[in-house]
A and B are shown apart, each in its own frame.
Chain A
Amino acid sequence: MNTQEIYAKLKEKLGENKVSECVENDVGDSWITVSHDYVHEVALLLRDDEQLRFDACNCISGMDWKDKLGVVYHLHSHELNHRVVLHVDLERSENALDTTTQEVQSVSAVWPTADWHEREAYDMFGIRFVNHPDFRRILCPDDWEGWPLRKDYKTQEFYRGMPVPYPADEDLDDGGTYIFEDRFSKDTDG
């Protein structure tokens, strides 16, 4: 099945407000946009329907499209050998340090692969997932400030007393000029 057919199937079973649009692309992936409140329902249908049978979740990526944030799901069916891409759009929070105001339903109960992928999307973009079994950061330390892969990310000055950005030239001991001490030629001169 191609994306259009899958979209028609989803619309027929779930109604139009849960799967809002289908974008066809000649180059690259086509995708279906899913409302953030119905991700779990859509995922269950995609996995269990006899004509769909999406048994593998290849990747879940957090996205920053500047005007909005989002999540992208890449799904594949080993049984029927077809694939589909789902998009979820989310409102951008005003404060860069905040998590998203809209929560996405977790699909880790549908595909166990999703567990760590969702934690990564949270860690890097601050996207919140509900009904996740172990929802916390996965790469950054728990007390890290901000969401590193967002476009408006500003590195924090200090982490537990350790400076984070590279020191400016004037703050370095040698004023930024590196002096190479050649101890080998000294030996030969003497």
Chain B
Amino acid sequence: MAEQTALPEGQYGGNIVVTTVDKILGWARGNSPWPLGFGLACCAIEMMATAASRYDIARFGAEVFRASPRQADIMIVAGTVTLKMATRIKRLWEQMPVPKYCISMGSCATCGGPYWQHGYHVLKGVDIVIPVDVYVPGCPPRPEALLEGLMLLQEKMKKDQHFLKRYGKKKLDTKSSGASR
């Protein structure tokens, strides 16, 4: 009797870890965020330096710069966003599959940078057209700064509960229906 009610420990050779779906998905996502491979200005040079061997973004699993937005998890907006480019960035963002995240790298992408006053052609912050998760200050930010931004984003990715948001909602609705609503 005692053997029947016990957890199925030992049935699979003791090789079982109990967790939530969101935690395991967040762990997988957070440790392999594939960035979209595109740069707009000098920040892109720092981004390339971050990807190269000295700073080695591969330590955080983000070395696979994808050439297609459909295969990318994060978008690093590296450089000055002109109004002409902003329309294209919005399209690229919309082509990326959910869940997707955005790092605004450098002053230009964050608020227009040195072009804030007389830059008639510059968008004053990429957050006007797409949602931004992490802002990395600097002009341009050093690779260490971008890596810290990436680490912050990884923390966020690991905490996010996409599975609960998507499939847990139905359960909540059936429970609460008839009670207060």
Give A contacts to B, CB under 8 Å. Answer: 139-141, 148, 153, 155, 159-160, 162-167
- Give 1 or 0 for each of B78-121: 1 = CB within 8 Å of chain A CB: 00000110110000000000000000000000001000110011
Q: Are B120 and A166 in contact (CB under 8 A)?
A: no
- Residues of chain A with a CB closer than 8 A to B121's CB: 139-140, 148
Give B contacts to A, CB under 8 Å. Answer: 83-84, 86-87, 112, 116-117, 120-121, 123-124, 128-129
Q: Are B117 and A162 in contact (CB under 8 A)?
A: no
Docked CA distance A149–B123 (Å)? 18
B123 contact from A140, A141, A153, A162, Cβ within 8 A: A162
Docked CA distance A163–B119 (Å)? 12
B87 contact from A160, A163, A164, A165, Cβ within 8 A: A160
Q: Are B128 and A162 in contact (CB under 8 A)?
A: yes
Q: Are A163 and B120 in contact (CB under 8 A)?
A: no
| Nearest 9 interchain pairs by C-beta | A155-B120, A141-B84, A166-B116, A159-B83, A166-B124, A148-B120, A162-B128, A162-B123, A162-B86
Docked CA distance A172–B70 (Å)? 34
Docked CA distance A163–B123 (Å)? 8
Q: Are A164 and B116 in contact (CB under 8 A)?
A: no
- Residues of chain B with a CB closer than 8 A to A160's CB: 83, 87
State the Cβ distance, B127 to closest chain A Cβ, in Å. Answer: 11
- Residues of chain A with a CB closer than 8 A to B120's CB: 148, 153, 155, 164
State the Cβ distance, A159 to closest chain B Cβ, in Å. Answer: 5
Docked CA distance A140–B83 (Å)? 9
Docked CA distance A163–B116 (Å)? 12
State the Cβ distance, A170 to closest chain B Cβ, in Å. Answer: 16
State the Cβ distance, A154 to closest chain B Cβ, in Å. Answer: 9
- Residues of chain A with a CB closer than 8 A to B84's CB: 140-141
Q: Are B129 and A162 in contact (CB under 8 A)?
A: yes
- Residues of chain A with a CB closer than 8 A to B128's CB: 162-163
Docked CA distance A148–B112 (Å)? 18
- Residues of chain A with a CB closer than 8 A to B123's CB: 162
Q: Are B112 and A166 in contact (CB under 8 A)?
A: yes
- Residues of chain B with a CB closer than 8 A to A141's CB: 83-84, 87
State the Cβ distance, A134 to closest chain B Cβ, in Å. Answer: 18
Docked CA distance A167–B112 (Å)? 11
Docked CA distance A148–B118 (Å)? 11
Q: Would you give 15 A-B contacts (Cβ < 8 Å), ordered by A?
A: A148-B121, A155-B120, A159-B83, A160-B83, A160-B87, A162-B123, A162-B128, A162-B129, A163-B124, A163-B128, A164-B83, A164-B120, A165-B124, A166-B117, A167-B124
- Across the interface, name the chain B residue whose C-beta is closest to A153: B120
State the Cβ distance, B13 to closest chain A Cβ, in Å. Answer: 41
State the Cβ distance, B54 to closest chain A Cβ, in Å. Answer: 25
Q: A148-B121, A167-B124 are in contact. Are A162 and B116 (CB under 8 A)?
A: no
- Residues of chain A with a CB closer than 8 A to B124's CB: 163, 165-167
